[in-house]
Amino acid sequence: MSDRKALAIRALGPYGGSAPGYRLTTFLIDGESALDAGCLTDALPLAAQRRVRRVFLTHAHFDHIASLPLLAENLYGLAAPLEIVAPEPVLSALSKHIFNDRIWPDFRRLPSRARPTVRLRPAPEGRPFRAGAATFTPFAVSHVVPSYGYIVSKPGRCAIFSGDTEPADSIWTAARRAKNVKAIFLELSFSDTQARVARASRHLTPSLVRSELERAPARVPIYLYHMKPPSLARIRREIAAMKEPRLRLLESERSFRF
Ligand SMILES: [Zn+2]
Ligand SMILES: [Zn+2]
C-alpha cells in the first residue's frame, strides 16, 4: 500500500444473494483484511487471495462465509496461516459446522497442527483488534443468529459496517462514539413489500432504513448493501422515491479511500 494512512475499502460483493453479476457480501480493506467472505475466491485472482491475511466475520450465515472454505484450500501450505477473526459465537459455529472434517477438512490442523492453514482468533466485543494499520472493533447487532457490526478505524478516519441486522441501537451508539466517521455501510435486504419476511429473518427494508436515519449522524453518507438480487429492482424504486441524498445503494467493485 502506498498510503498506509488512508482507509482503502473495496466492495467486492455488496449483495445478500448470488447470481452472475451479483456477488455475495464481502469488503476488502487495505487489500489485506476481508470483512465477510461471501465472494473472495470469485472476486480475487490467486495472487490477491494470497495477500489476504485475515478475514473478519459478522456472523456465520452461509452468504457471508461461502468462499471461506475455498479460500482456505487455495492458501493450503503457505507459511503464515489465514486468520479468521470474530467474536466467539461465530467462531464456534464455524468449527462445529464447517471445518469439521465432514462438510470440509479441518484446516485448523492441516497440513499440521504446528503449521495450520487457518487460525481462529476470537475478537471480543468492544475491543479494537489490530489488522495491519487499521483496527476492527466488533459490536453486537440483532439478527436470527449472533451477529456483529464493526467499526473499522485508522487515525483520523473510520467506517462503520452494520452486519446483518434488524433495527439496532448499537449501530447508532457506535456511530456517535466513533470519531471521524466517513461512511456507514448499512444492510438493506428486502423491499417494503416483503416486510413480513424481513421481520421474520431480522433484516431491514427501505421503510425501516428511513426510520433509522433519524438516529444517524448528519451528513455521513450511508451505503446500503446486502440487497437480495430478486428484490433489487423494487428496492431501487423504493429508495429513489425517498429522495434522501444520504442514502446510496452500493454497487459492485465500488472503491473508497477515506
Ligand atoms: Zn446475509
Ligand atoms: Zn444473516
**pTM, entire model:** 0.97
Q: What is the model's pLDDT at position 1?
A: 45
| 30-63 pLDDT tens trace | 999 999 999 999 999 999 999 999 999 999 999 9
Please tell me the number of the ligand nearest to residue 63's CA.
1
Q: What is the model's pLDDT at position 26?
A: 98
Lowest mean pLDDT segment, chosen from 1-10, 61-70, 191-200: 1-10
Please tell me the number of the ligand nearest to residue 145's CA.
2
| 73-87 pLDDT tens trace | 999 989 899 999 999
**How far, in Å, CA of 54 to CA of 122, rounded?**
12
Query: Cα(224) to centroid of ligand 2, in Å?
Result: 15
Q: What is the model's pLDDT at position 199?
A: 98
Q: What is the model's pLDDT at position 4?
A: 76
Q: What is the model's pLDDT at position 3?
A: 65
**How far, in Å, CA of 193 to CA of 196, rounded?**
8
Query: Cα(78) to centroid of ligand 2, in Å?
Result: 31
Please tell me the number of the ligand nearest to residue 15's CA.
1
Residue 182 pLDDT > 80: yes
Q: What is the model's pLDDT at position 79?
A: 87
Query: Cα(60) to centroid of ligand 1, in Å?
Result: 9
Query: Cα(79) to centroid of ligand 1, in Å?
Result: 32
**How high is the mean pLDDT of the chain?**
96
Q: What is the model's pLDDT at position 67?
A: 98
Better pLDDT: 1 or 118:
118
Q: What is the model's pLDDT at position 151?
A: 98
Using a pLDDT cut of 70, give the percent of the chain over it: 99
